[in-house]
Structure 1
């Protein structure tokens, strides 16, 4: 089976710790449930991602070099 996390077109996904999550939520003045969702079965997620975790995704961007987005892991 192919490991999609090593593919060049899959951006970096990482699980955030609680203090970083609070900083992000405060910065955007939102609740955790207001974040866009990503399913736990998504093959790009890190193996240690669990339901309720917040994932940081760093994508290449033509306008800002890198774009950072956040997703809430759901069932």
Structure 2
């Protein structure tokens, strides 16, 4: 079977630690529930991601070197 998360077109996904989450939420002055959502069954998610986790996604960008986005894992 093919592991989609290892494909070269899938951006890097990583689960944030609680202290990193708090720092990011404070920086953007938002609540965790204000984040865009990503479903737990998304094939790009790391295996250890669980509902309620915050995922950091780092994408290549034409205008900046990298674009960082955050998603809240939902059922």
- 5+ residue gaps, structure 2: none
Task: State how 1:1-75 maps to structure 2 within 5 Å.
Answer: 1-75=1-75
CA root-mean-square deviation: 0.4
- Figure out how many residues of one structure are paired with residues of the other and give that number: 75
Task: Give unpaired runs (5+ residues) of structure 1.
Answer: none
Q: TM-score, normalised on structure 1?
A: 0.99
Residue 52 of structure 1 deviates from its aligned partner by 0.1
Shift of 1:49: 0.2
Q: Displaced runs of 4+ in structure 1, greater than 3 A? A: none
TM-score (norm 2): 0.99
